[in-house]
Amino acid sequence: MHLKRIYIRLIILLFLSCSKEDTAYEPTPQLLNIPQLFSDNIIPPIIPTNNPQTVEGIALGKKLFFDTILSSNGTQACASCHAPQNAFTDNTPTSDGIDGVFGTRNSMPLFNLAWNYGERFTWDGKELSLERQAEEPVQNPIELHSNWGNVVSILQMHPEYPELFRLAFKTSTITKELTTKAIAQFERTLISANSKFDRYSLGETSLTPQELNGLDIFLSEDKGDCFHCHGNPNNPLWTDNIFHNNGLDTTFADLGLGGVTGDPNDNGKFKSPSLRNLAYTAPYMHDGRFATLDDVINHYSEGLQNSSTIDPLMKQINQGGVQLSDEDKADLKAFLLTLSDPSFINNPDFQN
């Protein structure tokens, strides 16, 4: 009988020790702060089930995003080409990496990335998730020009990072996968939804007659017809997040999506960028060829170049485009600038 009691106590102790493991450390879940305009109008963001947002993961991702430790000579970080004051893009047509060599594409601005439902990232759609995208710049020879083996070793020997990884992912053994997961978590928090137009949509402010006329031009199929690719007031992303040939060239030095899919019908197609934050994201287009917003509007008005894959949504191509008057152009520009969000570029959560 005595032995039986001992056995029972041992079994209880065993269970108790198990329950101690159950109460072990867990990172703190951190839901995305979804703006009302988004939850009212569009479907929820995409968060991978294997990379949930956590307070510690986001903090680690932010530190990594701004840390030059990811480059081989310690001179550049993600933020070097994706600067907060430029809505996380660069202010040059293309960007130079650590060796001073320039790439061929304009750095894409980063915001509202969790609402990219098709999950094709970058101008040509090459990267199929934010996590995978974050792998590329580190090892690209004209960007951070490092290799993941070295980066992981350096992070592992760092006085702070192993503990930060433990807090974020419950392991202090650093891997490429965990590093890119953390960066992706931070990038998903980069939400922009407080432009003048957002406040207008919420009934908190009004637009000027010029801005309202610009909206009319944007939405009119027989004027600007911008909305078929760049969304509308019911879609606060201001992009369709898909790929179009918008008539930049007659032949293609850069195949864009076609270079990824191998389908010649995709040649010359690039992702529609969001029109949010245009005030901070010049120069424009996938190669940064247009220095100003006026240049962009002039392109659609009278600069279209025909090619076999030009999108059928492009109009009056023989005349170069939709032939806006100077007044219409000015009004359209005034409207487009209402989509810029100063609180986004100044958000202290997004600064180094």
Q: Of 210 and 235, which has the nearer Cβ to other proteins?
A: 235
Separation between Cα atoms, residue 313 and residue 306, nearest integer Å = 12
Assess contact for 284 and 336: CB atoms under 8 A.
no
Of 206 and 343, nearer to other proteins (C-beta) is 206
Q: Is 222 in the site for other proteins (CB under 8 A)?
A: yes
Which of 10-18, 140-148, 219-227, 330-338 is the region at the interface with other proteins (rule: CB under 8 A)?
219-227
Please tell me whether residue 253 binds other proteins under the rule CB under 8 A.
no
231 touches other proteins (CB under 8 A): yes
DSSP bridge pairs for 52: none
The yes or no reply on residue 251 touching other proteins (CB under 8 A) is no
Query: Contact with other proteins (CB under 8 A): which of 221, 294, 327, 349?
Result: 221
Strands 243-244, 270-271: pairing kind? antiparallel
Distance in Å, CB of 350 to other proteins, minimum: 25
Report in angstroms how near the CB of residue 216 gets to other proteins at its nearest: 7
The smaller minimum CB distance to other proteins, of residues 202 and 317, is found at: 317
Q: Point out which residues pair with 54 in neighbouring strands.
A: 29
Residue 216 contacts other proteins per CB under 8 A:
yes
The least distance separating other proteins from the CB of residue 131, rounded to whole angstroms, comes to 22
262 binds other proteins (CB under 8 A): no
Surface-to-core class of residue 29, CB atoms within 10 Å of its CB (0-12 exposed, 13-18 middle, 19+ buried): exposed
Would you say 309 and 269 are in contact if contact means Cβ atoms under 8 Å apart?
yes
Binding residues with other proteins: total (CB under 8 A): 32
**Distance (Å, rounded) from C-alpha 344 to C-alpha 333?**
20
Mask for 305-344, x = binds other proteins (CB under 8 A)? ---xxxxxxxx-xx--------------------------
> Residues 6, 16, 31, 43: which binds other proteins (CB under 8 A)?
43
Amino acid at 55: V
**How is 227-295 classified by DSSP, letter by letter?**
HHHH--TT-TT-S--SEE--S--SS-SS-BHHHHH--GGGTTBEEPPP-TTGGGS-SBSTT--B-SHHH
Q: Minimal distance in Å, beta carbon 338 to other proteins?
A: 16
Element housing 61 (H / E) = helix 55-65
For 24, residues 6+ apart whose C-beta sits below 8 A from its C-beta are none
Closest Cα to residue 224, out of 233, 234, 235, 213? 213
Tell me whether residue 206 or residue 234 sits nearer to other proteins (CB atom).
234
Q: By C-beta, is 41 or 68 nearer to other proteins? A: 41
Backbone angles phi, psi at 160, to 5 degrees: -110, -35
Q: State which of residues 35, 162, 233, 303 lies at the interface with other proteins (CB under 8 A).
A: 233
Longest dimension (CA), the chain: 100
Classify 149 as helix, strand or coil: helix
The 10 Å Cβ neighbour count of residue 173 is 11
Please, which residue, 227 or 280, has the CB nearer to other proteins?
227
Give the nearest distance from C-beta 22 to other proteins in angstroms: 36
**Interacting span for other proteins (CB under 8 A) from 66-74, 171-179, 194-202, 223-231:** 223-231
Contact by Cβ (8 Å): 179, 62 = no
- Does residue number 117 form part of the binding site for other proteins (CB under 8 A)? yes
Q: Which amino acid is at 336?
A: L
User: By the criterion CB under 8 A, which residues form the site for other proteins?
Assistant: 40-43, 115, 117, 216, 219-222, 225, 227-229, 231-235, 240, 265, 308-315, 317-318
